[in-house]
Structure 1
Amino acid sequence: MLSYKLGLEYAKELDQNDVLATYRERFYIPKNKRGEELIYMTGNSLGLQPKVTKTYIDKELSDWAILGVEGHTQGETPWLPYHEFLAENMAMVVGAKPIEVVVMNTLTANLHLMMVSFYRPTKSRYKILIESDAFPSDKYAVESQLRHHGFDEKDGVVLWKPRHGETLLRYEDLETIMASQGNEIALIMIGGVNYYTGQYFDLKRITELGHKYGCTVGFDCAHGAGNVNLDLHDSGADFAVWCTYKYLNSGPGSLAGCFVHERHAYNKELNRFTGWWSHNKQTRFNMRDDFDQLPGAEGWQLSNPPILSMAAIKASLDMFGEVGMLALTEKSKQLTGYFEFLLQQLGDHTINIITPKNPEERGCQLSIQVKNADKTLHEKLNEAGVLSDWREPDVMRCAPVPLYNSFQDVYLLVEKLKVILNDK
């Protein structure tokens, strides 16, 4: 564990020694009305725009203008196979093989498509296990799947809860649930990194436990992709889904990612919804052939994708390909370690960091609980030039993202927080 020091000069020294420091210059940093850069700590909600993104999108707009329909097959990045240009870097980001990943649709749409294939309930095994404070969209999705199959969502959802007075989940409690209800659970679907606490789960441990009881296992990695080393292939998970507009910096509402483990790649017996983009590429445009499913994650596609959104994703993924997840996660641990140190040095007993203290069990987010605080604390930070994220009843989520946040950002955030707390 690194030892840290107090003072602005030390923060500047950390930035000078940061091998990723120059990447900050490759992003647009939001500014206040006076033209001063804001301290942006909400990359866990919406990542900042890489300056090169416009160039990537403009290129496709130019090809559209010049080539028209021929852009599908001509040009440097023809549109017909465009999703293939994203596969290698996306696989690197989530720890998978290219055949296991595809960029398509949006997050919850992909989750539903995965549950069509991997949630196959019976009268005796139909329950779905999720964490008790799962992201609402996940909860709504699994409840609707239960209703779709004719089950009561109140009976069908099994919640993995923290113990009384605690915020983090314990694996021993999950094991207890599985020992008592494992034979009734058809699917375990957990957020890989919990959006509220920032707890990063052991995906392999959960998968092995679920498979031991005959369950399929999937993960929503919206807060994990581009943030932590997910190692999806080695985890053994059946599937995973994630968005690309948080840590992957692809723009608001952009396309999502999907992982299907290699062992399912050639299984044509798996039930699924299909469309012409999951059909054999060689015969797709014959139009009248019987459906011939593509192998791998590509076989879950439905329609030809929106190229302009994919261009924005490619712009970001190319940068991830340069940097690599190892360098990103190393800086992430340094940033959050420094952040944690500074908060502790405040000596304010109203502050409680609910994110795990172990760097291996969190990404770049720290969730800060402030006793007796309300949203006015968050609003005062915003007025002071800090963009953070408030979650009721009393938690601020702050994510110093290693691609564009600096150690000086972290230092100034804590200094501004200290002033606000002292003025209470």
Structure 2
Amino acid sequence: MNDQPFLIAGGGIGGLAAALGLARQSRPVRLFEQATGFEEIGAGLQMSPNGVRALKALGAWEAVEPSCVIPSEIHVRDGLSGAILQRIRLGKTFEERFGAPYRVCHRADLLAGLVTAAKRNFAIELNTGKRATGVEDMGEAARLGFADGSTARGAGVVAADGIRSTLRAAVAGEVAPTKRGVILYRGLMPLQRVPPEIEADCVTLWLCPGAHVVHYPVSNWRNFNVVVAVDGTLPDEGWKTPAHSGEVPKRLPGVYRELSLLLAAPASWTRWPGTDLGALPQWTRGRVALLGDAAHATLPFLAQGAVMALEDAVVLARETARGPDLPEAFRAYERQRRERTAKIQEQSRSMSRIYHASGVVAAGRNLTLRLSGPSFALGRLEWIYRWTPDATG
């Protein structure tokens, strides 16, 4: 077995998860993050049962769970009339059905938990202020190059450097993210700013013509997360672009009063264009593997982007532990993850069209939601939520 360390480019959720997974297989890890600290600026996220299982397999659940929120229910509502179209309870029956709980949290809290778990593991070396700019497969080893001119050598490289990955070209050629005709906004506010008309203990999805809104509490009930998606296009100005004053309410005219009050509540919003990745020709090349958004970035409409990176980390670590042939282990990881993540990507695109329907199509959607009931809705999610760490897909 090659006793050189694994090198990981990227200190986000995927990179830290990969570090934890590999270290639990008794492999030394050197992780390199380009920022000067570990921070996550994204919105909240929904931690479905498959994500909880992945965190447990990575040894990070105990560090993440205290900052999570246990919502009481999921509500799907019509954004114009306010009618509740579907109500899914998230208590004991849900956990018994899927074998793990459903939680919500802020991405920053998930990242902080992963960092805490990584710092407790002496096999993991965390480095900040190191921007990876190139990678080379040297046959018996791999090498990372950095913007400061330095290099690092290891058994293999995991490129977890996000949707705008610098290292992806070395594995899959030049592949740019694809805009999907949707603008995303995020607002975060203290829980006490939430209008009293809003059921703050629920995960709520509002369906509107050309838009949808999702909101729920995060950070152990300290804050409230609101994400808005509207049809449209934007120049790609990054993740920290502030929205203009009053921009979000103007994007959703005529919505139900409760929702209108909520959209006016955040003191500020940020916005970014909704993008994902098309299918890559390959995720691995020799001793280099892509992971998370670098391989299969997805729109957030199934709430599975971060969770897929956690699953990736579990599978990659498992396969590298099975034998000394690292390139074959990386190929096995790709074979087991490609179909599942592609299905997540495609269904996320489809959900945008369903959520944003109007007129007769929206009326049919609403009637279907009312008549089908929560059991049917959860049945459609079985293939996602029932994933386990020993799954081969």
Normalising to structure 1: TM-score of the pair?
A: 0.22
**Bigger radius of gyration among the two:** 1
TM-score normalised to the size of structure 2? 0.23
Instruction: From the two aligned structures, give the one with the greater helix fraction.
Output: 1
Which is richer in strand?
2
